[in-house]
């Protein structure tokens, strides 16, 4: 009798072990949402060289984007900043728990946009929506050591001036101009202290923000200061 009970107990443990599913968690951002089929395209990152990032030039056939598709099935849970699939938005930062092992897969920009249905597909066990931090946003603005970038937010004339040092070289290796909106899931206006009634200028180096202003005269003073170093 004891032998019979032992065998049954071992079988139960064996079967329960077989039913458990190995999972892995992958960090990324939501790139696309299919509400009808409850699938998401998750952008993991871009494998570009620093030169390619600065020049913003990438060959069309260059497979440099790490991304995948995830399907919500069964009892997959959504937690964090939102709790339902309908509340998910593009660019939200997420942690995706998938069934099985994750294998990084690189695709071209065109494949990500026009052929996302061909991306490697995983089944989601759960998704956590993670709020952005100031550190996240500042990191996106930084450049290589020894370089400076000038970022303009809500610039009305949409034209950044070219700033040169005393030798005629460009001071900023990167110039960006972008808008903000109240429904931005990254909460840029609050986290980066963006002015609501004027243009905000942010200068960054490899460590973070070195100047935050809404006065172009401050930028000119910064450039002059570099010449005096």
116 pLDDT tier (thresholds 50, 70, 90): confident
Handedness of CA 46, 52, 54, 55 (dihedral sign): negative
Which residues make Cβ contacts (< 8 Å) with residue 13, sequence separation at least 6? none
Quick one: average pLDDT of 99-112?
Answer: 93
* Predicted pLDDT at 10: 47
Rounded to an integer, what distance in angstroms lies between the CA atom of residue 180 and that of residue 168? 33
* Predicted pLDDT at 168: 67
For residues 171 and 223, the answer to whether their CB atoms sit within 8 Å is yes
Rounded to an integer, what distance in angstroms lies between the CA atom of residue 146 and that of residue 135? 20
Residue of 125, 131, 113, 121 lying closest to 65 (CA atoms): 113
* Predicted pLDDT at 225: 87
- The pair of structure tokens assigned to 185 is 């899931």
7 pLDDT tier (thresholds 50, 70, 90): very low
Quick one: average pLDDT of 73-85?
Answer: 91
Q: How far is CA 140 from the centre of its chain?
A: 9
Domains defined along the chain, listed by start: 23-130 (2.40.50.320), 134-227 (3.40.30)
Sequence-ordered strand ranges (E) for 20-155: 23-34, 39-46, 65-80, 93-99, 106-107, 121-130, 149-153
Better-predicted residue by pLDDT, 164 or 207: 207
Predicted confidence (pLDDT) per residue in 176-220, tens digit: 888 887 668 989 999 999 998 899 999 999 999 999 999 999 999
Is 111's pLDDT higher than 70? yes
Of the listed ranges 20-29, 133-142, 158-167, 206-215, the least confidently predicted one is 158-167
Quick one: average pLDDT of 164-182?
Answer: 78
Of the listed ranges 125-129, 159-163, 191-195, 220-224, the least confidently predicted one is 159-163
Is 104's pLDDT higher than 80? yes
* Predicted pLDDT at 180: 82
């Amino acid at each position: 009798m004891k032998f019979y009970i032992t065998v049954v107990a071992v079988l139960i443990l064996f079967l329960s072990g077989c039913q458990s599913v190995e999972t892995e968690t992958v960090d990324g951002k939501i790139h696309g949402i299919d509400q009808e089929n409850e699938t998401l395209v998750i952008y993991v990152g871009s494998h570009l060289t620093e030169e390619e990032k600065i020049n913003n030039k990438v060959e069309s056939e260059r497979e440099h984007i790490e991304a995948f598709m995830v399907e919500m099935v069964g009892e997959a849970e959504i937690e964090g900043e939102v709790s339902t699939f309908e509340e998910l938005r593009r660019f939200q930062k997420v942690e995706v728990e998938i069934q099985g092992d994750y294998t990084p897969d690189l695709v071209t920009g065109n494949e990500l946009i026009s052929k996302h249905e061909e991306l490697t597909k995983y089944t989601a066990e759960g998704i956590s929506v993670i709020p952005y931090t100031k550190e996240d946003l500042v990191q996106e603005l930084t450049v290589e050591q020894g370089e400076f970038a000038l970022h303009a937010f809500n610039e009305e004339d949409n034209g950044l001036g070219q700033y040169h040092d005393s030798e005629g070289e460009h001071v900023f290796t990167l110039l960006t101009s972008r808008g903000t909106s109240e429904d931005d899931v990254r909460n840029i206006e609050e986290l980066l202290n963006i002015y609501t009634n004027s243009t905000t200028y942010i200068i960054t180096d490899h460590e973070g923000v070195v100047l935050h202003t809404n006065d172009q005269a401050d930028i000119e003073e910064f450039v002059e200061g570099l010449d005096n170093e």
